[in-house]
Amino acid sequence: MSESLSMSEPVWHPAPARVALSVVSVWLGVFLVAPVLTMVGGFVAPSDVSRVLALPSTWRLVWFSLWQSAISVAVTLIVAAPVTWLIGLHRFHGRRILRATTTVGFLLPSVVVATAFLAVLPRSLHYTMFAVVIAHAYFNIAVVVRVVGARLELLDIQLINAARTLGASPITVWRTIVWPLIRGAVAAAAAVIFLYCFTSFAVVRVLGGTRRSTLESDIALRAFGIGDIPAANVLALVQLVIVVSVIGVVRQLSGHEQRLARPNTLPLTAVAHRQRLFACCVAIATAIFVLLPIAALLWRSVQVGDTLSLAAWRAIYDASLAASIWASARTALLAGVLGVALAILTTLAVVRLGAIGRLIDMFSIVALAVSPVTLGLGLMLTFDIGWFDWRAKWWFVALAHTLVAFPLAVRVLVPAWRTTPIGLHQAAAVLGAGELRRLVDIDLRRMRPAIVASLGLIIAVSLGEFGAASLMSRAGGETMPVVIARLLSRTGDLVRAQAFVLASLLVAVCIAALVLVESALGRSDRVARR
């Protein structure tokens, strides 16, 4: 166990942690393991496997999914490199705002990002690979900034200054000092980006056109377009094997990271004038890259044909559009409540149960690895008979959103929980406080900002989730991303403007959620330093 963990927490087995482990295990067993096993055992026969794997089209899908993901990773790293350098190595006024700005794209729903690029790109670039790749880069720039930038913050600037004093060139400094310390973070960020691009659904469906399909989009087509459930299950299993392999690579790379001392950024005012000018250009270019598609989205929402009009905004009172707003709101709220509760229980098991906790932590990451389309298909095939035929229930979509989002909340809560000093628990125990009382009055009280941040994150993910919702939503209960995709597939200037209106509403809500998450995490950091 790491030194930081042993100094901040005991490895104990209190009753609340065992109860939490039981609840999480049952939940994941029923809503994750059972659907996957149902797909494998009940709907996949050896003949189906051989039939699907023998088709050349299957391997064309696999190859396209792989190479478009690899290109998207490379472009994302190139686009994100300057702002990651700026944020990771320097302190300056507005640094936190710039970092939050880079996160906007990641929190936006994927269908909104795709719609925004339809609004900002010229028509000649619609439905091209360029549109798909640049949208993936926009969506994932935050991964590089958060993962690699956090690693750069720990780089000792004195090492670089000493090397330059001894006559080392910038290339030599990069090759001998910087790269050895950040290559693990770069590889981990690349693997995560590859994972998101490989399972991309909305971006490829909206921007790729009818001629381009990934495994994810073809699974949905086979399952609910042509009714070939066995073939869809085989493709889902192929995708799951590849995704789990990537997750294993990520954990392997993370496990070999060297530990550095503490954040050690350099004030931007201390660097040369030429570097300050370059830093300003990087900040401005990044802000334009992130905000221009959003501005174009808002502009297109008030443009019907060649004229400016608010007709599309007035149409939100239409019954179908209003129903989608209500469906998204209630689904996101229920997913937020369930997801936060599940994330708290998972985190309690992770930080209190030693090896068992690490196992449940790994299992929660596997839940993140299952693509939304695969998850939605498994849930639809599992809960379709008897008293648990839940396919027509509105809250069934919220269950899928909970599974999609709660692993991200666990990643927020675990570091916050581990900052609780062990002395507080010892003092409370001496004063007679029981295990449950210490859990509520010490741990959960200190974690309130992180819990609020987790709630905002889950709500944002639920509002924008498209893969599972596109399979599980029913007429009259479609969520906003599903309605946006449907409107974009229709002709007519007013109809497309209505899609831009719904996308603009999602942008506003997700930015509000981002502000909530950032402010809550800031309060959590202040609590941790006490």
DSSP letters of 403-468?
A: HHHHHHHHHHHHHHHTTS-HHHHHHHHHTT--HHHHIIIIIIHHTHHHHHHHHHHHHHHHHH--HH
Phi and psi at residue 128, to the nearest 5°: -125, 165
pLDDT above 50 for 1: no
Q: What average pLDDT does the chain have?
A: 80
Query: For 498-514, what is the mean pLDDT?
Result: 84
Query: For 399-404, what is the mean pLDDT?
Result: 90
pLDDT, residue 13, reads: 47
Query: For 256-277, what is the mean pLDDT?
Result: 60
Confidence of residue 5 (pLDDT cuts 50, 70, 90): very low
pLDDT above 80 for 275: no
pLDDT, residue 229, reads: 79
Strand partners, 90: 266
- Residue 267 DSSP SS3: strand
Query: For 9-31, what is the mean pLDDT?
Result: 75
Strand partners, 307: 304
Q: Are 134 and 120 in contact (CB under 8 A)?
A: no
Lowest mean pLDDT among 54-68, 318-332, 407-421: 407-421
Query: For 241-270, what is the mean pLDDT?
Result: 62
pLDDT, residue 439, reads: 67
**Three-point CA angle 397, 403, 408, nearest 5°:** 130
pLDDT, residue 525, reads: 58
H helical segments located in 270-394? 273-301, 311-314, 319-352, 354-369, 372-382
State how far the Cα of 492 lies from the Cα of 209, in Å rounded to an integer. Answer: 18
pLDDT, residue 136, reads: 93
Query: For 322-341, what is the mean pLDDT?
Result: 90
Q: Are 472 and 379 in contact (CB under 8 A)?
A: yes
Instruction: Tell me the whole-structure pTM to 2 decimals.
Output: 0.76
Lowest mean pLDDT among 142-151, 216-225, 234-243, 267-276: 267-276
CA distances from 410 to 3, 124, 342, 344, 404 (A): 21, 42, 9, 7, 12
pLDDT above 50 for 479: yes
**Mean pLDDT: which of 65-69, 347-351, 416-420, 491-495 is highest?**
65-69
DSSP letters of 368-399?
A: HHS-HHHHHHHHHHHS-SGGG--TT-THHHHH
Domains of the chain, residue spans: 44-273
From the list 200, 98, 91, the residue with the least C-alpha distance to 145 is 98
Digit-coded pLDDT (tens) for 249-262? 766 665 544 444 45
Query: For 333-337, what is the mean pLDDT?
Result: 92
pLDDT above 80 for 270: no
pLDDT, residue 28, reads: 87
pLDDT above 50 for 330: yes
pLDDT, residue 424, reads: 67
From the list 401, 503, 467, 403, the residue with the least C-alpha distance to 203 is 467
pLDDT above 90 for 76: yes
Confidence of residue 9 (pLDDT cuts 50, 70, 90): very low
The distance from CA 329 to its chain's CA centroid, rounded to whole angstroms, is 19
What's the fold here for domain 44-273?
MetI-like fold (1.10.3720)
| Number of neighbours of residue 355 by Cβ within 10 angstroms | 8
Digit-coded pLDDT (tens) for 179-233? 888 888 888 788 888 888 888 888 888 888 767 788 888 887 787 777 777 888 8
The distance from CA 499 to its chain's CA centroid, rounded to whole angstroms, is 23
